[in-house]
Chain A
């Protein structure tokens, strides 16, 4: 202690002014006039509504990505004091004064700005020169598409930020590895790699590509470590464990944490409740919970229930019946039983109530004490409002002619007997004596006579069936499917034997009591599953594009147009940079193959350490580009130009590396080197010039004349908006 006091307190720091300067210009380029335009720009209309949901803590479901990105945007809103009251209904709508535009756009802009110095550091860590590193950072700085994308409430720039952070911290970790394993910086950078990967995946599923890249590189390095026989077995084990914890356990935990925060924040019921299961809805404030509170848990003979289909596609709906009967003859000439229709109805309705009846007794009320229904029991289902029995028989269903018709039995005295006995089959039972529980049990109704199962077929009935969904009896032998499973959503013990009383009872709300809670893991897995399987309408979009058009920049997106002047924001890249980046990638791959083949024939063009750096740099940059780009060819969703930006960021890192390599190893004489440097400088000035030319479209702050706009339309496929005066 005293020793410490004896010495003077000295702080020595090295400040790399390059980084400071780059951060400064980065911030300037991204934050300049950030709150302009004060109007909804392109996809802000989409993310904005989720920000509002967070502010109001209303539950929503968005299948586009995990919630971390949305939460990040909402954090901006929270810091800026946004109250969530803005109707995000159209692009170009003016923001009202309560929307803190600057704060909302701040976090993506910061992420974009910090990507610039980070690019510098990545190149330095790859052991290339500082000049090259400056080049990479400057390319990122002036690339128009990146600037546009980071100045708005969009998720690409945070994604790129975390992608680069993951790569940078892995490189730092890797460089620590040689000298000081298990030191503090070693641990810090290793953990940071895992954290950054988790954040990238948490923003968009796309982040998983970078995660895979880092994992792959780490696996190869770990493999070398295993082969290093100077290390003891125990030490190797420690190394592997540390990596597993940081790169596997941490990301998974963080990912779960994002969902935990997400679900904790969104505790109120909202417009997307319907998609979720009854149990999930019951866990939200004010939604189903308000209705289902205080319901008895176990369904008993005499219970009144509504039955919701668990699959719920194409629409979530409840088993339903009404007075109308099936038409005697369908349009296609087939006949029906002409009995009362049974359908699945996507809205709450008094006709959704059914009474569970014991076939052996006549009572429609619950005995005292209630007799619970168990797995395997035979029941009848009585439609509450019409007192008819759920029935199926060997008559073809109206639309799915291979399946049986389901009806509420009407006795027409024409030798069609009632077949209304159903065996209860609890799908998610713990034991064979399990009772039928409200909300929690998924049940199948197996018809006793024909062993058909009550199923939602997914087809819409025609007008005679009021466009409700068709319910059929499907042979069990065709395999189990979720559309055969139903759960009780609303439930109460019936008390009125008389039809008139029962109708009154059905119209009355159920009683109120405690709410039921679902565990976090159950909620998480349901939410995650729904997000992955939700299939939106195949929306075609004016500005959608295909991956092939991205490399050549054959497409662009009009983001915003000033309501009066022709000032506009347009997502379009710096064409010089895009072209040279693609060229650099091709050069890299060709050079790499060339060296590789020559090495195979024992010709070593490069010194060993240069070769290793060249391979590592290529794996990270080209690999990052390929992994973030090529999978899009397999995707069937609607794609946009901005999906290419993460891949582009990696390509921009590669470009200066290739230039330096050419300068160092391919230019033999001084003259060649001078010439090459001059060319590079000239090329960079052209890029800057192009960037400046496109600046009005990037920032959207100056109005151009139609002539100037036309002059900017360098490719026919760029859809620059020109106002007709």
Chain B
């Protein structure tokens, strides 16, 4: 919708008028997303185009009323009757009583227009309250069941515990979600002692409801948020109600909100960002006012938080970004605005949507790093310098010499994640695998066999002899590395490596440090000039074999049993720089040099930030599916092809199965197709210059702009998954599902109005619309009644058994309940 056609743009400009002072309460209240600038002179087009949506629906209707000389049944909007009936049917006597009052007010002949607006607002508030209440009720119902770990709670609960215990860990997602879970646990009295070992473990006496309650609390807000977004985009209460019903009654959203997971938190922030963006765009006629600023900055804050939970948050950032660009483009094209004003607009957005989120995002990481200050299971993923920060790690508070010198005893660590230290031991390569010399491998654990001594290539004198002066190793020097325990030199030659046949074998060779010219390596610091000293921890070094010109590296492949399942070390003839062939020096012992505290070497905050992201991205890329395993494919998701088993598999277990409510999901699927069809028909008709009646034009604008906005959201949250190489799960679709439900709401409301508009009289039209919306609402509710055991848990026979509560509901063979 960003590329709205010329006509649409013209319509937009035409409607962006100064607010006329006539008594038009509703229009002022909801000036929708049109850009509105003071002093744009074009008043006459106001009436003929019927202006913004509120007016589009409000004024013609009022005209009808006047002509017929009788009062509208209720508030002054075309659909009010159906809304009220609906509300009466669902809220019981109390609401009905109020309806009577409203109708009584409506019947009074002197009812002023603002009054009807006030009723409408009251109605909307009531509906919002109702929707919120229902959402909370469904999410918190049976929240404590089952009393054991379900699915990924084992990860995120555990990570929450890590925050409480302040132990460092590694995860592929940014920290905010887990930090919030930890905080919720902490505040609710969970002490971090539960181990969260595997799904199915009983919680016993541990307090887990705080964390589940927090996730359910955030998850419950999705429904009111969606309600408000749709209300704002379509300005139609039925559409908003339909959306809210679809989400409330979707078993998938419900299940996903009830456990200690990142998804409810992520979706909360995504929807919050969307809502605040929509709100701030509807304030566009009053730029730089207080609500405008607050919605704008709320958008920025939500964006930062969404990204802080999972990288999926990037998609909503993209959506807001595209909207902002379109927005600025329109402002820029408005010649009535001076460049200074446009500049102000630009700066405001840069401030609130770029700088504010960035600061916040970094603050999240700062808190994360400050909280986790104890050594834990995540240490090994990070570089040596990083580890020095963690108390309990052997690098913490250590003091070692800063620059490498000849005679130093060192350990050499590969820079790639989870490769480990250069290692050798008193075992030879077996017969038939290169030369029968001592093995050289990489090893992940700290060990005496990881120690090497740096020697000059041409002398074998003991450099530690106090009579020699200290000589530092410099970039470009030719050195020898002697294995401390076995006194063999690091050696390579033209034999193929054991596993990577294109590389050369690396061995330990020589006796007591005497070998041959194949033991010489040139030490180089990446991106440095000649002659520089080499720093412990910080310098990234490469070892280049002098004779063959190859580079020492680790292929990351696991050696067979003869190599103790350590990782293969090779010398690669390809000089491309990859992390596999870059090393750093970690431990460093040299009695002749003064020790410095490692604190000096501590990485700065930007470096830590960068490193964490590199490690996270690499971790994400490392999650590759295996060939022979079943994996969820993106095309499975919208058709609800297969769910995820949260808990239990057999008929005696308490089973929870994450599966979308098929009625809702398939309705969503149909709606997307229908929307595309309808949308393209309308767009082509407009491009052909067809003249639409005023009312239809208002409806089509809702469809194209409001619907287009959420369709964009759906596409941005769905299609990128097709490009991802990492392993995917069904629950990745849920953010997209929220958008597609909103689209369904907008589409069906508009569609029913369009259908009803054609031949029928206005009362028949209203009836058709009301019946349509009502049946959709009831359908969603009934399907929820059918499928609710999936979310709230079920015990007993599986679905193929006629005695099961789910008997006959296994509509697809791939569902497993």
Contacts and interface: CB of A to CB of B under 8 A. Distances in A.
Interface of A: 223, 226-227, 229, 233, 236, 311, 313-314, 331, 455-458, 477-481, 483, 540-542, 544, 597, 600-602, 634, 636
A458 B814 contact: no
B497 to A, nearest CB: 13
30 contacts: A226-B687, A226-B688, A227-B687, A229-B689, A236-B688, A311-B628, A314-B627, A331-B561, A457-B628, A458-B626, A458-B627, A458-B628, A477-B645, A478-B630, A479-B642, A480-B630, A481-B628, A481-B629, A540-B502, A540-B574, A540-B576, A542-B573, A542-B574, A544-B576, A601-B332, A601-B333, A601-B335, A602-B335, A634-B723, A636-B725
Contact of B814 (A456, A480, A483): A480
B649 interface: yes
Query: Which of B502, B642, B687, B689 has the most chain A CB atoms inside 10 A of its CB?
Result: B687
A481 B339 CA distance: 60
A117 B688 CA distance: 40
B684 interface: yes
B629 to A, nearest CB: 7
Contact of A479 (B574, B626, B630): B630
Contacts of B627: 311, 313-314, 458, 483
A597 B642 CA distance: 49
Contacts of A601: 332-333, 335, 339
B99 interface: no
Interface of B: 5, 329, 332-333, 335, 339, 502, 561, 573-574, 576, 626-630, 642, 645, 649, 684, 687-689, 723, 725, 814, 816
A313 B628 CA distance: 7
Contacts of B687: 223, 226-227
B814 A479 contact: yes
A617 to B, nearest CB: 21
Nearest to B626: A458
Contacts of B573: 542
Nearest to B561: A331
Given A597-B332, A636-B725, 5 more contacts: A223-B687, A477-B649, A600-B332, A600-B333, A634-B723
Give 10 nearest A-B pairs by CB, closest first: A479-B630, A458-B628, A481-B630, A483-B628, A227-B687, A600-B333, A313-B627, A226-B687, A229-B689, A477-B816
A393 B191 CA distance: 43
Contacts of A634: 723
Nearest to A482: B628
Contacts of A479: 630, 642, 814
Contacts of A236: 688
Contacts of A455: 628
A233 B645 CA distance: 54
Contacts of A597: 332
A236 B687 CA distance: 12
Contacts of A229: 688-689
B687 to A, nearest CB: 5
A456 B628 CA distance: 7
A690 to B, nearest CB: 26
Contacts of B561: 331
B651 to A, nearest CB: 12
Contacts of B574: 540-542
Contacts of B816: 477
B329 A226 contact: no
Contacts of A313: 627-628
B642 A226 contact: no
Contacts of B725: 636
Contacts of A481: 628-630
A597 B333 CA distance: 8
A541 B575 CA distance: 10
Contacts of A311: 627-628
Nearest to A309: B628
A540 B570 CA distance: 14
Contacts of A480: 630, 814
A456 B627 CA distance: 11
Contacts of B502: 540
A640 to B, nearest CB: 13
B409 to A, nearest CB: 33
A483 to B, nearest CB: 4
Contact of A226 (B332, B628, B629, B684): B684
Contact of B688 (A233, A456, A478): A233
A487 B568 CA distance: 39
Nearest to B575: A542
Nearest to B689: A229
A458 B630 CA distance: 12
B626 A600 contact: no
Nearest to B632: A479
B509 to A, nearest CB: 26
Most buried by B among A458, A479, A602: A479
A227 B629 contact: no
Nearest to A477: B816
Nearest to A543: B574
A331 to B, nearest CB: 7
A233 B688 CA distance: 9
A375 to B, nearest CB: 14
Contacts of B576: 540, 544
A279 B25 CA distance: 74
Nearest to B813: A480
Contacts of B688: 226-227, 229, 233, 236
A725 B738 CA distance: 71
Nearest to B502: A540
Nearest to B723: A634
A273 to B, nearest CB: 21
Contacts of A544: 576
